[in-house]
Amino acid sequence: MLTRVAESLYWIGRNIERCEHCSRYLKVQYFSTLDAPMSQNKDFTLRSILFMSGSDFDINTSVNEGEVWQKVIFDYNNPNSIANIAQKARENAKSIRNNLSTESWEAINKFHLFMKGLDGSKFNSSKVFQFSEKIILHLSLINSTFANTLLHTNAWSFINLGIYIERNLQILRILKSKISDITILTNGGINIPLMHYQWITLLKSLEAFDVYMNINQRQLSTAEIYKLIISNELFPRSVIYSGQKIKRHLTNISARPLGFDIILANLEKSIDECIAFQNFDDEEKVINFINQNYENISRSHLEIQKLYF
Amino acid sequence: MIQLLKNYEASVGMYDEFIQDRNSGIHHYQNFVNRLSEMTVQDFMALNENAKLSFLNQGVTYALYDKKESVEQIFPFDLFPRIINPTDWDKIEKGVIQRNIALNHFIHDVYNEGKILKDKIVPEHLVKTSKHYCKSMEGFSPKKNIYCHISGTDIIRHSDGDFYILEDNLRSPSGVSYVLTNRVAMRRVFPHSFKDMIVEPVENYTDKLVQAFWNISEKPMGEIFCVLLTPGVFNSAYFEHTYLAQNMGIELAEGRDLYVSNDKVYLKTIDGDIQVDVVYRRIDDAFLDPEVFRPDSFLGVKGLMRAYLKGNVTIINAPGTGISDDKAICAYVPDMIKYYLGEDPILNNVPTYICEREKDLQYVLENTEKLVVKPVDMSGGYGVCICDQMSKSELDELREKVKADPRNFIAQPKMLLSTLTTYIEEEENLQPRHIDLRTFTILGGKEPFVLKGGLTRTALKKGNLIVNSSQGGGSKDTWVIKK
């Protein structure tokens, strides 16, 4: 496989995963502002959406919904808008499409055409739900064609490396950002209903709400939430699950250039630390753990880039 | 559906393929029209929309360059197929094989002994001043002496009913991917029509191409490594590059993916570097190797020509084949056929006035308004002047240009390309539109191969004689009826 092709596959995975996180976060956060107790903090939530999507915004001026939709969804000048990420994924796929199956290429192309066909000027809050649902459908189709129409060899593994590195980083970012939001909004945890509401929003942002409620008999506990999101090996949107997937796909790649063993060792160390982590009651230690993991995964990204591309 | 064809009639003096077929009693189109009559106009329009959406979703597009950016477009596809009967196809097939074999002899001769030039059959000056003449190829013979492995020959049918060669494309002829995707689309849309008559398949093209690569490289099947060298995603024919690479099972590489070491070409992969035996290049000579051609090229591979001239890699098509695309040289192909093969041309050239010849120049200047004037080295319909549609001042300006640089121009009588039934969206009915045919010939396999079909290009504007996609033309599936 060409080095250029490997890099493009990796970025297709990252961009597709980023789009999914972005649109899910946008939907969950936006709808969370419609009811009390968050309806009083709409501005705050809209900023949170901008922050999570990686879009620039001025902290001192108020934001309105229309601006947020434009920036986060449609703005081709914003490198992190959903339309732009979809376009990047498509450009990457186009440049290597002979390495993809026809089905996965068409799924990516259709997603890009869907985004291109939307009229940003006519978009409003009544369309957020429908839009997010369609995005999820497109992205599910893309992921399904990756899983079902590609040989599970190098190409598939580079895509998945991208997917799980992005997922890991996004989970850690969401977690960190929510901890900060909750501290600010609940006045250090005094406003319990608002705190619970925020934790539920976090779980929904990771599509973890049902899973959490099933495991914990509908009892909300910060420590249990951390435990699920950080170290439940069976939950696909946990830090450890993504870490193990990264390791699996890295070892599935046939090429083992010099330096491969070091990346693998670092990754294994990071996974071991995740398994060993038990201080879910201690928020400071959780935050340190999140920061450390974020650093580790970012380093893995750089090492993969250096090694293969 | 009959309504769509109700007022269908060919313009006076035109050869309309559908009407001629009906009048001659052959009725190849009748079965297809019968099938159409089973559906309503709305059904047909829905099929047309579905076909367009299918092309868009597949990314079957080409890029049009405007001043700011390249705009991706679907190559308009017309659902009414072109049908070629076995007798006509037999003539076309034999004619293009004969022509391309002669052209291959010519290119070899020009870069080696130069007999045809010494015998003054083709003026040496014309060849050596061609923009596409490649000095590096002098004295070199590629494997099996094959230069033009893939040729695109543009053929028209004039109002006299006969076929004529409009031009040759021997550098990197494009369009074959549309032949293949058009057939897929037609099968999806009109599956039952293929039961009414036996249509020659086109899917074997990529297999034939790979077989030719194997044969030329003189290595056992499966032991060669081929790449398709593309300029990249912004190239107008990028869809075709990916499509062919995928269907041939070869790597699609950009210049930056390749490098030359010890006069051998290597591909950079995650498993290490792999030596490349065949480079199917889809970039022009000028960008192929900055060491030999344009030094500012980032698209090619530095040292590629060194590796080629040492015999360590095969380039398809060979550099320098573009001399035959020069429209002034094209005019001599009938002479080449006689010279090398001792045969009369099976397919005639469109009569051509070579402006560099004094007598021809005088005729062109005196009769400009009756002619079509073309630059010798441009393709895609660019620069073509249909003089009876030009104003006096435009004609004067053209004459000045021709006088200033006669080597750069040829002129031809206005050929009335045949017309064929074409769906016109704005009018919601079927109307006659001018068409041509690009055939694809492969040399280098066990025997010459012509893809049984080819790309029928159709103008979409009434009366327009230029059918190129870059000028707003579309395409049709081409059905060659099996004998």
- Within-domain flag for B213: no
* Domain housing B129: 1-202+326-350+415-483
**10 Å Cβ neighbour count for A70?**
16
**Is B63 in CB contact (< 8 Å) with chain A?**
no
Domain for residue B207, yes or no? no
Gap between the Cα atoms of B97 and B88, Å rounded: 14
Q: State whether B270 and B345 are in the same domain.
A: no
pTM comes to 0.84
What is the predicted pLDDT for the residue at A38? Answer: 66
For B253, the enclosing helix (H) or strand (E) is: strand B251-253
Residues of B in contact with A308 (CB under 8 A): 270
Q: Find the range with the poorest average confidence among B56-65, B332-341, B359-368.
A: B56-65
Contact B58 A109 (CB under 8 A): yes
Residue B215 lies in a domain: no
Q: Domain check: are B304 and B341 in the same one?
A: no
**pLDDT for residue B472:** 79
Q: Give, as one character, the DSSP assignment of residue B16.
A: B
B12 and B112 inside one domain? yes
- Average pLDDT on B205-218 reads 92
pLDDT bin (cut points 50, 70, 90) of residue B65 is low
Q: Do the chains contact at A2 and B246, CB–CB below 8 Å?
A: no
Taking residues A143-158, report their average pLDDT.
Answer: 96
Output the pLDDT for position A205: 93
pLDDT at residue A173, as a whole number: 92
Across the interface, whether the CB atoms of A154 and B270 are under 8 A apart is answered yes
Q: Is residue B13 part of a domain?
A: yes
Closest Cβ opposite residue A94 in set B59, B257, B272: B59
Nearest residue of chain B to residue A98 (CA atoms): B246
B429 plus B403 within the same structural domain = no
Query: Strands B429-442 and B150-157, how do they pair?
Result: antiparallel
Residues B243-301: tens digit of each pLDDT: 999 999 999 999 999 999 999 999 999 988 999 999 999 999 999 999 999 999 889 99
Q: How far is CA B225 from CA A288, B92, B101, B220, B267, in A?
A: 51, 33, 27, 11, 10
Q: Same domain for B445 and B392?
A: no
Helix, strand or coil for residue B125?
A: helix
CATH number, domain containing residue B406: 3.30.1490.270
pLDDT at B102: 98
Residue B238 has pLDDT above 70, yes or no: yes
Residues B134 and B145 in one domain: yes
In chain B, the residue whose alpha carbon lies closest to the alpha carbon of A95 is: B233
Residues B108, B345: Cα–Cα separation, whole Å:
20
Which two tokens mark A148?
A: 């079902």
Query: Is B167 inside a domain boundary?
Result: yes
Q: Could you tell me which residue, A189 or A259, shows the higher pLDDT? A: A259
- Domain identity same for B62 and B141: yes
How many domains, chain B?
A: 3
Instruction: Tell me whether residue B332 is in a domain.
Output: yes
Q: Are residues B430 and B390 in the same domain?
A: no
CA distance B335 to B125: 17
Q: Are residues B35 and B177 in the same domain?
A: yes
Q: Is residue B70 part of a domain?
A: yes
How many interface pairs between A and B have CB atoms less than 8 angstroms apart?
60
Q: Is residue B137 a part of any domain in this protein? A: yes
For the stretch A104-138, pLDDT in tens is 999 999 999 999 999 999 998 889 999 999 999 99
B48 and B140 share a domain?
Answer: yes
DSSP state of B461: S
pLDDT of B68? 60
> Is the peptide bond between B317 and the residue preceding it cis, with omega within 30 degrees of 0?
yes
Confidence of residue A60 (pLDDT cuts 50, 70, 90): confident
Instruction: Output the pLDDT for position B70.
Output: 62
Same domain, B298 and B371: no
Q: Which range has highest mean pLDDT (A217-226, B43-52, B218-227, B303-312)?
A: B303-312
pLDDT band at B66 (very low <50, low <70, confident <90, very high): low
Residues across chain A? 309
Around B240, how many Cα atoms within 13 Å sit in the side-chain half-sphere? 21
Report the relative pairing of strands B258-261 and B264-269 from DSSP bridges: antiparallel
CA distance A105 to chain B (A): 8
Instruction: Give the pLDDT of residue A39.
Output: 67
Instruction: Look at B267 and A2 and tell me if their CB atoms are within 8 Å.
Output: yes
* pLDDT for B363 beyond 70: yes
Is B185 in the same domain as B121? yes
| Cβ–Cβ under 8 Å, residues B340 and B332 | no
The shortest C-alpha distance from B406 to chain A (Å) reads 42
The CATH number of residue B271's host domain is 3.40.50.11290
Of A95-99, B83-87, B101-105, the poorest mean pLDDT is in A95-99
Q: How confident is the model at residue B35 (pLDDT cuts 50, 70, 90)?
A: confident
Predicted confidence (pLDDT) at residue B477 exceeds the cutoff of 60: yes
Predicted pLDDT at B116: 97
Give A 188-227 residues with CB within 8 A of chain B: none
SS3 B439: strand
Question: Would the CB atoms of B269 and A2 count as touching at under 8 Å?
Answer: yes
